[in-house]
Amino acid sequence: MLAEFDIRPRYKEIPFTPKGMMAKVGDYQHVSIIKARFRTVEKTGKKTSMAKLAREIGRSSATIHRQIHHHNNMVHSVGECDKCARVNSELAKVVID
């Protein structure tokens, strides 16, 4: 019936939420990292250090760096960040440099 009426359903991915230990960064925490970085750049015109963001969020500076790097790479290569898109973040298509 879908083919007969030329209906093409789109399926949305479910946001990733890690279970148990905090070894992995879930989609919601990824978005909070990106928003925190974006807010500081927007307010001050300067980037906040990875170490300062790490202290605020409770993650390592390496984790913060990986999340920002992943976000920017996805936006540059695909047009939007997959993690941000899964949770409908307004920053999904914005490069955070």
What's the CATH code of the domain at 82?
1.10.10
Taking the alpha carbons of 26, 29, 33, 34 in that order, is the dihedral positive or negative? positive
Domain limits at 38? Answer: 27-86
Q: Which residues contact 83 (CB under 8 A, 6 or more apart)?
A: 16, 27, 30, 31, 70, 71, 74
Q: How confident is the model at residue 9 (pLDDT cuts 50, 70, 90)?
A: low
Q: Which of 31, 16, 14 is nearest to 80 (CA)?
A: 31
Segment among 9-13, 35-39, 79-83 with least mean pLDDT: 9-13
Please state the domain count of the chain: 1
Q: Flag whether 21 is in a domain.
A: no
Average pLDDT (5-32) is 74
Q: Which of 34, 40, 39 is nearest to 86 (CA)?
A: 34
Q: Flag whether 20 is in a domain.
A: no
User: 27 near 91, Cβ under 8 Å?
Assistant: no
Question: Tens digit of pLDDT for each residue in 72-89?
Answer: 999 999 999 999 999 999
Q: According to the model, what pLDDT value does residue 21 have?
A: 56
